Amino acid sequence: MKNAIQSLVLFIGLVGLLLLASCNDEKSISRGNIEGVITNFDTGEVIEGAIVRLEDSEEQMTDANGRYKYEDLLSGVYDMTVAKNGFTSYTDAVQIQEGNTLHKNITLMKSSNPISPPAFGIWDAEYLGYSAIGGEAPGDYDGDGKADIGLHQDNRWLIDFAYNGFGGWDIDVHGYGDSGGEAQADYDGDGKTDIGLHPGDGRWLIDFAHNGFGVWDVEYLGYGVMGGEAPGDYDGDGKADFGLHQDNRWLIDFAYNGFGGWDIDVHGYGGSGGEAQADYDGDGKTDIGLHPGDGRWLIDFAHNGFGGWDAEYLGYGVLGGEAPGDYDGDGKADISLHQDNRWLIDFASNGFGGWDIDVHGYGGSGGEAQADYDGDGRTDIGLHPDGRWLIDFASK
């Protein structure tokens, strides 16, 4: 009996020591800060709007005084980058120490090859004979680095390849249902756009490019009704994932573990419409983007996990005509809208918050078909209004 009591006392003591150690560990978590000013190497002037990225933290933009500041960081070494269009990017590793604020001022040198802005404002190419508006589905179906004209109408999927010049359909395959539910994307990561369709009966269908088009290769069930299709590479593995925006939810089924059921189901995203998923921060992962129609453009970045809006920008008009793309070729998607005879672009390179491009003569919303048709790494303005397919190239 005595031995049993001693064992019990010893056990309680050990538990107490473990709890004390745990509390001490919590108290010993050390934190620090980093702050500084970004300036122009040549002139010494502060740089407003520089993008500052610190590993495992949300990116910041320098204020009117060129300042940035990160607080309450766990002590340790962090990768840090600073970028601004027209300047050479800065990269370094910084050491955050317990109880200290690291003052790190950074100078950026002017780039010898700054990104030149795209020269939009007039249609460069007009192709006839492409049927009525609806079912626009451009994509790089042959993997040559150039977007092809694609259209889904009247039970057909039609493709006009860029490599041999636009002007007539090269592919005309039947059995694909009517317009709606288009979800073309590179689902197998081979560099070619696959035909994808979410027809509204719970199925998600894929016809892979690698074995030729003409019949569905795979059929997955349980994906809800038509509307809000938003495929994209949300985890950055090089393969497109299923994405759907419906009933206040954004749902994602990752390719890496096989399709067949939702892996992500996050709430608070409104009803279908205004989908604008794209890689806004250039990390190789598709971010959730939404333009709900009340003037806001909302982004939930992939790098810190989905589940709530990370950024909210105001003054972007009503719902309809969403057309995000990398129009300046800096590796980041730009906010873009096609409405009221205008095509508007807000570049990521200098921070979101207002239109950088506002060009007229582009008709009303509908028929948006922006894509990189010439393979220069920049999204071109594309439109399919009335049997014509029109392209305004970013590079002249």
Kindly report, residue by residue over 290-300, the tens digit of the pLDDT. 999 899 999 99
Please give the residue that has the higher pLDDT: either 41 or 241.
241
Judgement on whether residues 53 and 189 belong to the same structural domain of the protein = no
**Could you tell me which residues come within 8 angstroms of residue 62 by beta carbon, excluding any fewer than 6 positions away?**
37, 38, 46, 47, 48, 49, 50, 52, 68
**88-102, 194-208, 245-259, 369-383: the lowest-pLDDT one:** 88-102
Judgement on whether residues 243 and 299 belong to the same structural domain of the protein = yes
pLDDT at 28: 43
**What's the pLDDT band for 9 if we cut at 50, 70, 90?**
very low
Burial 45-76 (b: 16+ CB within 10 A, else e): ebbbbbbbbbeeeebbebeeebbbebeebeee
Look up residue 260 and give its two tokens.
Answer: 């067949």
Kindly report, residue by residue over 143-160, the tens digit of the pLDDT. 999 999 999 999 999 999
Tally of domains in the chain:
2
pLDDT at 216: 97
Kindly report, residue by residue over 178-211, the tens digit of the pLDDT. 878 999 999 999 999 999 999 989 999 999 999 9
Read off the amino acid at residue 205.
L
Cα 139 from Cα 247, distance rounded (Å): 28
Q: Are 85 and 114 in contact (CB under 8 A)?
A: yes
Judgement on whether residues 82 and 224 belong to the same structural domain of the protein = no
Q: Is 176 inside any structural domain? A: yes
Q: What is the CATH number of the domain that holds 243?
A: 2.130.10.10
Task: Say whether pLDDT at 18 is over 70.
Answer: no
Would the CA dihedral through 2, 3, 7, 10 be positive or negative? positive
**What's the pLDDT band for 109 if we cut at 50, 70, 90?**
confident
Judgement on whether residues 55 and 136 belong to the same structural domain of the protein = no
Q: In the chain, what percentage of residues exceed pLDDT 70? A: 91
Q: Is 21 inside any structural domain? A: no
pLDDT at 15: 41
Q: Are 18 and 320 in contact (CB under 8 A)?
A: no
Task: Say whether pLDDT at 237 is over 50.
Answer: yes
Kindly report, residue by residue over 42-99, the tens digit of the pLDDT. 788 999 989 999 988 888 989 999 999 999 999 999 989 898 877 877 888 888 988 8
- Which of the listed residues 108, 134, 166 is the one where a domain comes to its end? 108
For residue 213, give its domain range: 115-396
pLDDT at 25: 42
Read off the amino acid at residue 307.
G
In the three-class reduction of DSSP (H, G, I as helix; E, B as strand; rest coil), residue 46 is classed as: strand
Cα 73 from Cα 92, distance rounded (Å): 17
Kindly report, residue by residue over 261-289, the tens digit of the pLDDT. 999 999 999 887 899 999 999 999 999 99
Task: Say whether pLDDT at 112 is over 90.
Answer: no
Look up residue 77 and give its two tokens.
Answer: 């070494």
- Which of the listed residues 77, 108, 139 is the one where a domain comes to its end? 108
